[in-house]
Homo-oligomer: A and B are copies of this chain.
Amino acid sequence: MGGPRAKSTIVYVTPDGVYPGGVTSEDATGVRRRDAAATRRLLLEAARRRFAADGYTAATVRDIATDAGVNVALINRYFTSKEGLFEACLAGVGDELGRTVGDVTLDRIPHDIAARLAGPHAAQHRTQLLLLLRSSGDEKAEAIRVEILRRFAEKMTAAAGLRPDDAGILRAQLALAASIGIALLRASTALEPLASAGQDDLVGPLTDMFTALMAPRDA
């Protein structure tokens, strides 16, 4: 009690009927109905899912807006265009990846990737990975994506103790490409046993694969 604002059930009454508040941009906590930051967030979340799942072209702004529970026109208001929204999604993923992918060591990479592919938060991580290969044809978006991938591979190169020359970076990029390919095939087809393999099933093969690919070698 004592809050400055009574948080009783909010209800909108319109000529078309009565429906509960929060359909548009309400936080789960019930605070604030007209909040630009919150709507932006909702749009970004919905867009990320749609772009990752359907691809840039197949994902329509109307679908995204509906998923977010937001009016379509707000996409253009907050992100200028569909491409702007896509770029914002990519930038967001870049930030998260930069923060969450801390300093890893080679022996933890397979387990880490297996967790990203089939772990408890696989859905989010898979969305992140898939976004990285969804192309919009837009130059700016393309540049952002390449930069994210480049940095990601760079980190893996360092983590694996590979020499930071072309050969070493190539190996890290191959590992990254392989991971994304696995994520994509798991997500987009019903290919068994790959599609429903659990984390435990993946760790073994992935360990073999990544250690062979990225274990530092001399000469």
> Residues of A at under 8 Å CB distance from B?
54-58, 133, 135, 137, 142, 145-146, 149-150, 153, 166-167, 169-171, 173-174, 176-182, 184-186, 188-191, 193-194, 197, 201-202, 205-206, 208-209, 211-213
Contacts and interface: CB of A to CB of B under 8 A. Distances in A.
Contact of A205 (B58, B146, B174): B174
Contact of A166 (B170, B184, B193, B213): B193
Contacts of A206: 174
B173 A194 contact: yes
Interface of A is mostly: helix
A146 B190 contact: yes
Nearest to A179: B181
A192 to B, nearest CB: 8
Chain B CB within 10 Å, residue with most, of A167, A174, A179:
A174
A202 B166 CA distance: 12
A146 B191 contact: yes
